[in-house]
Amino acid sequence: MDSHANPRRSTFAIYDEALRARLCAVALATVKDEEKEGDDTRLFLCPACGHIEPNQPPASCPICTARPEQFVQV
C-alpha cells in the first residue's frame, strides 16, 4: 500500500465537506425562517449522499446523480 495520500481524493473530500457545511447552513436557515414566518418551504434530502434541495427535488442529484423520486421530503 502506498504511504502517500492521494491529493486528488483529499481535495475532493475537502470540497465535499465544504459543500455539505454550506448546504446544512442553508437548511438550518430555512428551518429557522420557516418557524418565524410560518413559511411552507419544503426540503428534499438525497438518501444516498445527504444533499439537500429546497422546494423540489432536482432532475438528478448534483452530487451522486440519484433520481428525483429517490429524494425524501424532510
Strands 72-73, 52-54: pairing kind: unpaired
10-residue mean pLDDT series, the chain (74 residues): 60 77 81 65 87 91 92 90
Helices of type H across 1-74:
7-37
Residue 68 has a pLDDT of 94
Report the domain count for the chain: 1
Could you tell me if residue 2 is inside a domain? Answer: no
The domain spanning residue 45 has which CATH number? 2.20.28.10
Residue 1 has a pLDDT of 47
Residue 34 has a pLDDT of 64
Could you tell me if residue 1 is inside a domain? Answer: no
Residue 31 has a pLDDT of 74
pTM (predicted TM-score): 0.51
Residue 58 has a pLDDT of 93
Q: Which domain holds residue 53?
A: 7-73
Cβ contacts of residue 66 below 8 Å, gap of 6+? 46, 47, 48, 49, 60
